């Protein structure tokens, strides 16, 4: 059974979970560079949010880190804060072992919130590559990604969001979502993506100038580039044309932005992974090395 195809019993069990307690959780990670390479020096957490030890499939200088959230999703009143702090010359890739979930909100519509802050100093690299986030019908959530770059820091990241449970033919219903993805370079806002879905913008889900009836929305950002070769952009656009759904590539100042709409989060992840395989060597001069957890 596909991960977003649920039986009636499972859907009822989820409703029971959302009537239970709530979590206020945070995770603060600190990475340093020493003789052993990029090292996770500090890991301060509260609640059910933590990481395994870093993995080094590319060698000591690049740490692959898996975020773990055992409850598996956000219920009403939950607030998760994830913060990563690096020093110069560190290279960190953060991903998740599975999809994130935001469950149906309680009748009081208490907000379900997740905030991610990535502090990337001069000469450091951050790759933020989580699995998709599934917003269950009637969820009420605020999801914020804040990327703070300094000097010659470099960043590759994506977010893939599934509105409702399309495999169960359940749309987002009366759900509400406020998503932001901000990138600042030396304190100056360079890119802001925001999507608001509420009772005033439900028509946007089907509008030509909106999601066009597609339940899956994706964004991939890489940069800043001093220069990017035309053949890389051409290849990215060819990948978008070959993929299912509606996808495109744009240059926003020194950042490459890939946007995608579709009906299948797995297909969108494949597209973004293919784009990442081209963008990574162009930006940081390293070939793509997929986290092992993606193969499980």
Helix, strand, coil share of the chain (percent; to 5): 20, 45, 40
> Quick one: pLDDT at residue 204?
80
Task: Tell me the DSSP string of 98-147.
Answer: S-EEEPPPPTT---EEEEEEEEE-TT-EEEE----EEE-TT-EEEEEEEE
> Quick one: pLDDT at residue 4?
54
Q: Which residues pair with 84 in a beta bridge?
A: 29, 118
- How many C-beta atoms lie closer than 10 Å to residue 56's C-beta? 14
- How many C-beta atoms lie closer than 10 Å to residue 277's C-beta? 15
**pLDDT tens sequence across 90-109:** 999 999 999 999 999 999 99
Task: Tell me the DSSP string of 33-47.
Answer: EETTEEEEEEEEEES
Rounded Cα gap, residues 283 and 77, in angstroms: 39
Q: Is the pTM of this model over 0.75?
A: yes
Terminal-residue alpha carbon distance, the chain: 15
Q: What parts of the chain have a pLDDT lower than 70?
A: 1-21
């Amino acid at each position: 059974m596909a991960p977003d195809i649920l039986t009636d019993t499972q859907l009822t069990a989820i409703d029971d979970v959302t009537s239970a307690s709530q979590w206020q959780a945070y995770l603060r990670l600190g990475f340093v560079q020493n003789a052993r390479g990029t090292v996770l020096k500090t890991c301060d957490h509260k609640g059910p949010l933590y990481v395994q030890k870093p993995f080094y499939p590319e060698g000591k200088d690049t740490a692959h880190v898996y975020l773990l959230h055992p409850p598996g999703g956000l219920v009403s009143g939950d607030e998760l804060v994830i913060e990563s702090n690096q020093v110069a010359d560190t290279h960190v890739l953060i991903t998740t072992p599975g999809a994130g979930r935001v469950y149906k909100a309680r009748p009081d519509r208490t907000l379900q919130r997740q905030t991610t802050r990535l502090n990337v100093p001069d000469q450091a690299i951050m790759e933020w590559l989580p699995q998709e986030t599934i917003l269950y019908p009637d969820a009420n959530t605020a999801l914020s990604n804040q990327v703070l770059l300094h000097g010659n820091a470099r960043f590759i990241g994506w977010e893939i969001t599934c509105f409702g449970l399309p495999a169960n033919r359940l749309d987002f219903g009366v759900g509400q979502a406020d998503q932001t993805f901000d990138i600042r370079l030396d304190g100056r806002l360079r890119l802001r993506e925001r999507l608001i879905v509420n009772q005033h913008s439900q028509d946007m889900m089907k509008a030509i100038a909106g999601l066009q009836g597609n339940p899956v929305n994706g964004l991939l950002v890489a940069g800043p580039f001093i220069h990017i070769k035309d053949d890389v952009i051409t290849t990215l656009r060819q990948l978008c044309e070959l993929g299912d759904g509606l996808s495109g590539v744009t240059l926003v100042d020194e950042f490459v932005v890939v946007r995608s709409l579709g009906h299948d989060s797995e297909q969108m992840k494949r597209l973004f992974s293919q784009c990442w395989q081209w963008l990574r060597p162009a930006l940081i001069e390293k070939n793509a090395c997929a986290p092992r957890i993606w193969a499980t």
